Chains A and B, each alone.
Chain A
Amino acid sequence: METTSTSLPHGAAGHPTPAAEPRLAGDLAIWVFIMAELLAFGAFFAAYAFTRANNIELFNAEQAGLDRTAGAINTILLLTSSYFVVRAVQAAELRAARAAANWLLAAIVTGLGFIVVKLGEYAAAFAHDISLSSSPFHMFYLSLTFFHFMHVILGLVILVAMWNNARQGRYGPGNMNGIETGAAYWHMVDLVWLILFPLVYVIH
């Protein structure tokens, strides 16, 4: 195992410890939390699939009413935002505090873009009298997307805190725990959307 771990090229450009033992990025606590989050979303996704299997026609018909373009734009926004966070972590590792802060700001702006698009979608849905009780599909659509929406907001709060720390130069090679922990959470928010979007908006 040791030989493979040392001979494996480490992916990220400029990674300063290519020969290091594989390690967990970020704090162990955030991974416990992420696992619990994924379990919650996983249970919700499974419930969706189970209910859909019994109401395929209804689900297909109502799914057609969703704004897939908005969903696709949001997918691009979140993926881009995640990429910006990766760049921020890399910059912090190279002691480029200003660059790290700027990448984080870019991530925050794209994250806010997601919020704006999503609010537009909700406004349209409520204008059509779509509610948690209007149909099983709408119950899942609203619950899943709103549950995720709240995670985006929490993620943004974390990103703002990270941005503030980065601007003050608090991250560096010896002190990556905070930024990696926040980044791991933001990637989780992105990952969940990457399952949620095709599952609820596209697959039929």
Chain B
Amino acid sequence: MQYKSQAVAMPYFIAAIGLFVGQIIFGLILGMQYVVGDFLFPEIPFNVARMVHTNLLIVWLLFGFMGAAYYLIPEETETELYSPKLALILFWVFLVAGAATILGYLLVDYATLASMTGNDLLATMGREFLEQPLLTKIGIVVVALAFLFNITMTVLKGRKTVISIVLLLGLWGLAIFFLFAFYNPVNLVRDKFYWWWVVHLWVEGVWELIMAAMLAFVLIKVTGVDREVIEKWLYVIITLALCTGIIGTGHHYFWIGTPEYWQWWGSIFSALEPIPFFAMTVFAFNMVNRRRREHPNKAAVLWALGTGVMAFLGAGVWGFLHTLAPVNYFTHGSQITAAHGHMAFYGAYVMVVITIISYAMPILRGRAANSEKAQVVEMWSFWLMTIAMVFITLFLTAAGILQVWLQRISDTPMSFMATQDQLMLFYWMREWAGVMFFIGLLTYLASFFIKGEAKTAKA
């Protein structure tokens, strides 16, 4: 560890992994509820479990992004964090607020939670992914602003690199677009229109900048390739991401009551969204092939390469599958969307956060890399989780194709629920793949506790 203040990243990474475990447990509960409808009812209804599953995902990724920023910004700027103390205070505020929100979802019914938390003052709740009570939303903004203040001040007083500028741009974008969570117009079309400015412009816009910056940082460290080369790639990737992703928002505007030209704009621009992800794949492999050193942390290199491949498959290929308006006319809101959502989030954001944790954690614990034994276990967890996610995606895709066929294309279309009965086999297989993913996650946890001779070579 080159800078003392980088240590604040550690609690963020630990919290991220802890919440990740929670997310997967709720994923397993949900998968079970698909096949055994009243599983855990009425204690944990499906809608609550789903809310917890998706909200935990977002929160733990945010913990991961913040931890990544606290870790890499001091090294990039070659100066200590502006205020490590503020970073630690924000950690506890965010963790307590997050935990209280999840407990609120689980212990109180949603309508009561809404009235308890001031939703009648400014109604922002009840919308997918933005279910958080008003108080939590305000808390997120306060934490984000204080975090950005801390990071920005650090960058201002230190060396300015392309990686830190791109990361800052992404993080500021993340905070700014979240403000649309407070805008909840009565008109349902407008509501959906701006709702996507949070959801889409996060994951298919500014988050891509954060991801590319994190990946570039790790690649510089583990390959020793010239910063100039890596920065040029970074420029190309973020330009492509923004050029395709911003107007690509239109692929959500096909059927919500917006003008018809969105079908063209959305189809054409979003069809190009795989390009920046493909560039990231080429980037990762190219840099590793041109490496000038053999970094002792092989597991981190594996995660970095995995991110390149899985992000392209999940976000790029599975996104393209149903992004064209004439296709989406049939597939909209089916299990195909679920397949894409799972692999894209895992491939792009889960894996990039694990990449930086894998690289940084050993250093934060005082060694360049973990022991051979620990790394082997970590690589096992990589393959278990990644292959399980491929299976989850394939089973959901199969379910989606069958669903679209039975419910929307066939000459004698079936009702939604009758169709669901026909998909049970795939839902069962998805649940088993989920169990495999959970085993992979436990293996990942175990890798942190495996001793052995640590690698001491200077990172």
Determine how close the nearest CB of chain A comes to the CB of B183; give it in whole angstroms: 24
20 contacts between A and B (CB under 8 A): A27-B232, A29-B233, A29-B236, A32-B240, A32-B279, A33-B240, A36-B240, A36-B243, A36-B244, A36-B272, A36-B275, A40-B244, A40-B268, A43-B272, A133-B259, A133-B261, A139-B260, A139-B261, A139-B264, A143-B265
Q: Say yes or no: B235 contacts A44, CB within 8 Å.
A: no
Q: Say yes or no: A132 contacts B259, CB within 8 Å.
A: yes
Which residues on B sit within 8 Å (CB–CB) of A32? 236, 240, 279
- A71 CA to B453 CA in the complex, in Å? 72
- A47 CA to B265 CA in the complex, in Å? 10
- A164 CA to B309 CA in the complex, in Å? 42
Residue A123 CB within 8 A of the other chain:
no
Nearest residue, chain A, Cβ from B243: A36
CB within 8 Å for A47 and B268 given contacts A32-B279, A33-B236: yes
Determine how close the nearest CB of chain B comes to the CB of A12; give it in whole angstroms: 27
Which residues on A sit within 8 Å (CB–CB) of B265? 143
| Nearest 5 A/B pairs, CB to CB | A132-B261, A139-B261, A43-B268, A29-B236, A133-B259
Determine how close the nearest CB of chain A comes to the CB of B72; give it in whole angstroms: 23
Q: Say yes or no: A29 contacts B261, CB within 8 Å.
A: no
Nearest residue, chain A, Cβ from B235: A29
Residue A194 CB within 8 A of the other chain:
no
Q: Say yes or no: A43 contacts B232, CB within 8 Å.
A: no
Main secondary structure of the interface of B (DSSP, over half): helix
Determine how close the nearest CB of chain B comes to the CB of A115; give it in whole angstroms: 21
Main secondary structure of the interface of A (DSSP, over half): helix
Determine how close the nearest CB of chain A comes to the CB of B271; give it in whole angstroms: 6
Contacting A at CB under 8 A, from B179-236, are 232-233, 235-236
Given contacts A32-B240, A39-B272, A43-B271, 16 further A-B contacts (CB under 8 A): A27-B232, A29-B232, A36-B243, A36-B244, A36-B275, A40-B243, A40-B244, A43-B268, A43-B272, A44-B264, A47-B264, A47-B268, A133-B259, A133-B260, A140-B264, A143-B261
Residue B117 CB within 8 A of the other chain:
no
Interface size class, chain A: 10 to 19
Q: Give B contacts to A, CB under 8 Å.
A: 232-233, 235-236, 239-240, 243-244, 259-261, 264-265, 267-269, 271-272, 275, 279
- A143 CA to B266 CA in the complex, in Å? 12
- A115 CA to B326 CA in the complex, in Å? 35
Which residues on B sit within 8 Å (CB–CB) of A143? 261, 264-265
- A44 CA to B264 CA in the complex, in Å? 8
Nearest residue, chain B, Cβ from A30: B236
Determine how close the nearest CB of chain B comes to the CB of A201; give it in whole angstroms: 19
- A140 CA to B264 CA in the complex, in Å? 9
Q: Say yes or no: B269 contacts A40, CB within 8 Å.
A: yes
Which residues on A sit within 8 Å (CB–CB) of B233? 29
Which residues on A sit within 8 Å (CB–CB) of B267? 47
Determine how close the nearest CB of chain B comes to the CB of A42; give it in whole angstroms: 10
Nearest residue, chain A, Cβ from B232: A29
Nearest residue, chain B, Cβ from A142: B261
- A82 CA to B114 CA in the complex, in Å? 61
Nearest residue, chain A, Cβ from B237: A32
Interface string of A111-141 (1 = CB under 8 A from B): 0000000000000000000001100000110
Q: Say yes or no: B268 contacts A44, CB within 8 Å.
A: yes
Which residues on B sit within 8 Å (CB–CB) of A33? 236, 239-240
- A32 CA to B269 CA in the complex, in Å? 17
